[in-house]
Structure 1
């Protein structure tokens, strides 16, 4: 499946686009490779929400990009629970002064799944801001990864970014990695990053299941 979604939010407009992805399980492997382009005009607000629960023999590879003009706001919200393998890194270019970007990602990987998600943000103008929040759970040998890039260009003064990655593992066979990357070319900026990786013990799981 190769679909192409194009959203153009003109000046002062507001739109919330909701996308749901699912498929029955077929005998052969399947590929979903979608493309999304979003243009956020001045003072416009776009929220793009995705929930995918593809069958366990589907490879889910997506490309999502957005460009924000002055005082525009872009929000990416995604939940990844299905597929055999997912690679999803929505990208936003903050082109105009005062533009804002938010990424909220929730991922779950079970047996035989590799869920690789993240975000990319390019601060190319002054007074821009971005927030990235990533939450992941892996169990039964599943694997989750976070890959993120934040680039603040020279001249994008008074910009700010905050990145938070939290991963939770339910057993010793599951894995989770966080790979944040930041390129800062401007000194007058505010940058924050926080990451946690933890495991729930067997006694804790037993207690929760007994309630």
Structure 2
């Protein structure tokens, strides 16, 4: 069976998990403590980052964008990258937005300070300035997401695409930590409720990180 080396709260790992689930592909999760920099894992991906996908034939593919486009190309019965150059350009723009801008301005500030710092910078305490910035920034991003959803059926157009998956992967991590004031972002909440109810999200919503429990509404499909 194919294996996915991942970390439970990595949005990039979650993005690949969602794509595999949307494609209805079987896979085994292998939790990888990247901060340990295991030699066996570094042989799979010298960058030392998750996710890494190992196919049944031994093929190794690293980087979430590369893995997701590979999966979509090989299993293209329900394409997630669009069918025209214009559609693909918009999908890639939004994937880059959430993988890059959202991750840097929100996830790094919140997940990085609340959880990852204890492993990568032992003895350090969370930076309150970073936490404050992450909480302010997430509001701006959700406003933009809501603006997109007011004009489209999904974020990039009429169908679920890789843009929605990239957004859901990031937002699910922030929601796990309880750092979203959903009452202030009704349109974004409508979109998230729609994608949260998809079968591909079930295992994501069942995630629990030892010593770092989720918000009380994390797994609820109808939430506040």
Q: TM-score, normalised to structure 1's length? A: 0.28
In proportion to residue count, which structure has more helix? 2
CA radius of gyration, larger in: 1
Tell me: higher relative CO, structure 1 or 2? Use CA pairs within 8 A at least 6 residues apart: 2
In proportion to residue count, which structure has more strand? 1
Q: TM-score, normalised to structure 2's length? A: 0.27
